Structure 1
C-alpha cells in the first residue's frame, strides 16, 4: 500500500484518522494525500431577510479560519513525520471528493459514523458513502482510537460473496504483514459459492498462512458474532466486504455492513 488518502475535516475524529494514516504510510514507506473538504460558500447563503446575511457571512469566515488553522497545524506535524505527502483542499461533499481522488490510490482512511446515522437516510455518513463509491478499499477508524497496528492480528469476515473476495484481495498487503490471519465464517451467512478454504488457498499462494474458523450466532446478530470473534482474537482490524445489498436497502432494512459500522470497537477494512 503506497498511496494513502486521508479525509481532513473539522470534526473531532480527524486526529484518529491522521495517526492511523501516518502509521500505514510509515509501515509501507508510502505517500499520504490529505484531502481537506472545505465548506462551500452556498452552505452559508442567507435565508433570513432581516439581518441573516451578516450572521451567515460571519459563520462562513469562522469556518474558513478553522479550516486554515487545521491545515497549518497538521502540515507542521507532517513535516516532522518523515513521510512523503501532499495536500488538496476542495469545497464539496466529502465522499464525492474522496472518491474522485481514489482512482490511483490503495487505501482511504475515514471515521466510523455516529451511532444515530441510520435515521438519516437522506444524508449517509462519509464512511458508508465512500465504501460504495470509491475506487479503493476503505479503512474505517473507530471513535477515539489513536494509532493503527499494521502488524497486528487480522480477522477476515468470510461469506463467499464477491464483496468478501474483493476485500481479501484489497487487504492483501496488510494480511501479508499481519501477525496472524483468521478467516471467520458465520454459519447463517454463507450463501455463496466460494468456501473459506478457497480463500485460505488464495492467501497461501501469497505467503499468508491463515486459520479457518466457523462460528454460530447463538442468538446474536451476524455483526455481533463477527465483533466477538475479532475481539476474542485481539484483532487489530476486521476485513470484510461492504454492502452486498444496496446502501439504501441496508439503511432501511438493516444489514451486516450497517450494523458493523455503527459503534465499531475496532478498525474495519471495507471493500465493495
Structure 2
C-alpha cells in the first residue's frame, strides 16, 4: 500500500502555500500525483431592511471577493507545482455547500490521502474541516497552522482505543508507519474485557503492524484524572512525536460539538502532524 493520489485542500490563500508544499513533499516521497482543490462557497443573500429585499450590490461584492480568492489560491498552487515539476492537477468548485458539495466529495473520495490545514483555531470556522473528517471516507493529514515547512516523519504515535475508527486510521497510515524510525501504540485507560486483561490491549495491532515491517512498541497508561486529549498531548511532547495517528469522531459528531471530545480538543490544540480517519 502507498499513496498515489494526494489531494491538497487549499481553502484560503493563507494556507495555500503551506499545504501545497506539504502535498508536494509527500508526492516526492511516495511518487504520487497532487490534486489541488478549492471550493468557492456562494455567499448567503444579504437582505435590505425593513423590506428584506435582496441587495444586488452586496451579492456582487461578495461573489467578486470569492472569485479573487479562488484566483489567488490557484496562482499559488500553480507556481509551486511549476517550480517542483511534480505531476499535478487543479480543481475548483462553486456551490452553496462548499466542501460538502457532492461534486467536491466525488473528487475527494477518489484520493488516497487528503492534506489540509488545521488553520488558526482562534479565528477560523472548523465546519469545513469537520465535514472532510466526518464525510470523506478518506484519511486526512492535518498540518498545524504553526508548522510552516515540511518535516520528516520519524517518530509516530498511534492513539489506540480498539475502535473501528482507530483501526482504520492505523492501517490508513501504513505508508508512514513502514518508513518511520519508531512507532508507538499508546493505549490510555485500556478497558478490562471478559476474555482479555487490559495489559493486552493493542497487542494484536502491534503484531499485525510488525508483520508489515513496522518498528512498533506498545505502551499502556492510566490517565490519572487527565482528559484523554491532555494525556495524548503530553505524550506527544514527551516523545517528540512527528505524527499522531488516531480515529476521528468515535462518538456522534453532534455530541462532540455540544459537549466536547478528543477529536475537537486535538483539532484546537494541535502540535504535531495528525492523520485522522473515520
- TM-score for the superposition, normalised by structure 1: 0.88
Instruction: Measure the CA separation in 1 of the matches of 2:192 and 2:130.
Output: 23
Evaluate the alpha carbon distance shift between residue 51 and residue 251 of structure 1 in structure 2; reply closer, same or farther with a 3 A threshold: closer
Alignment counterpart, residue 136 of structure 2, candidates 134, 137, 157: 134
Question: Could you tell me how far 1:147 is from its partner in structure 2?
Answer: 3.0
4+ residue stretches of structure 1 with deviation over 6 A? 191-194
Kindly indicate whether the alpha-carbon contact (under 8 Å) linking 2:153 and 2:243 is maintained by their aligned counterparts in 1: no
Q: Is the 8 A contact 1:127 1:140 kept in 2?
A: no
Q: Aligned-pair distance for 1:263?
A: 1.9
Unaligned runs of 5+ in 2: none
Give CA-to-partner distance per residue, 1:63-97, whole Å, 9 cap, x none. 31232122123202211112110001101312445
Instruction: Tell me if structure 1 keeps the 8 A contact 2:20–2:80.
Output: no
Q: Does 1:47 align with 2:47?
A: yes
CA 1:146–1:95 in structure 2 vs 1: closer, same or farther (change >3 Å)? farther
> 2: distance between equivalents of 1:25 and 1:150?
13
Moved more, 19-28 or 61-70: 61-70
The Cα offsets for residues 71-127 of structure 1, whole Å up to 9 and x where unpaired, read as 12320221111211000110131244553213331111122255369xx9xx75222
Deviation of residue 233 (structure 1)? 1.3
Equivalent residue for 2:61, pick from 48, 58, 61: 58
Answer yes or no: is the 8 Å Cα contact 1:44–1:57 preserved in 2: no
CA contact (8 A) 1:153 1:236 kept: yes
What do you get for the CA RMSD once the two structures are aligned? 2.4
1:90 equivalent in structure 2? 93
Pairing 1:144-223 to 2, within 5 Å after superposition: 144-187=146-189, 190=191, 195-223=201-229
Query: Is the contact between residue 13 and residue 72 of structure 2 (CA under 8 Å) also seen in structure 1?
Result: no
Match in the other structure for 1:9: 11
